[in-house]
Amino acid sequence: MAKRNNDIRYKTSIKTGDTVKIISGKHKGDIGEVVKILPKRGKIILKNMNLVTKHLKPKKEEENGKITKIEAPIHISNIMLYKNT
């Protein structure tokens, strides 16, 4: 039986608060600040970059549903360290 290894961690020199440049994808050339790092998934989240629309259903009967924009993660291989802060 094949063994699953879900504990792979991607090594990176990028830390939270660093300024990075996107080198590949839809936002190529854009510069942003790292908000969060997801090492097990090999992704990072940048401030006000790669925004996606999320539709939220109402939790209770009297509440209304809403549409929000959240920051989606970007793979570490698609970014480059721009400047340390």
In a domain, 10, yes or no: no
Q: Which residues contact 56 (CB under 8 A, 6 or more apart)?
A: 65, 66, 67, 68
Q: Specify the higher pLDDT residue, 9 or 69.
A: 69
Instruction: Say how far residue 73 (Cα) sits from the centre of its chain.
Output: 2
Tokens representing 44 are 């990072």
In a domain, 31, yes or no: yes
Cα 27 to Cα 34: distance, rounded to the nearest angstrom: 15
pLDDT confidence bin for 5, thresholds 50/70/90? low
Q: How many domains does the structure of the chain reveal?
A: 1
Total-model pTM: 0.76
- Domain assignment of residue 79, given as a range: 19-83
Q: Which residues contact 77 (CB under 8 A, 6 or more apart)?
A: 24, 42
In a domain, 6, yes or no: no
List, for residues 14-56, the tens digit of each pLDDT value.
899 999 999 998 899 999 999 999 988 889 999 999 999 999 9
CATH of the domain at 71: 2.30.30.30
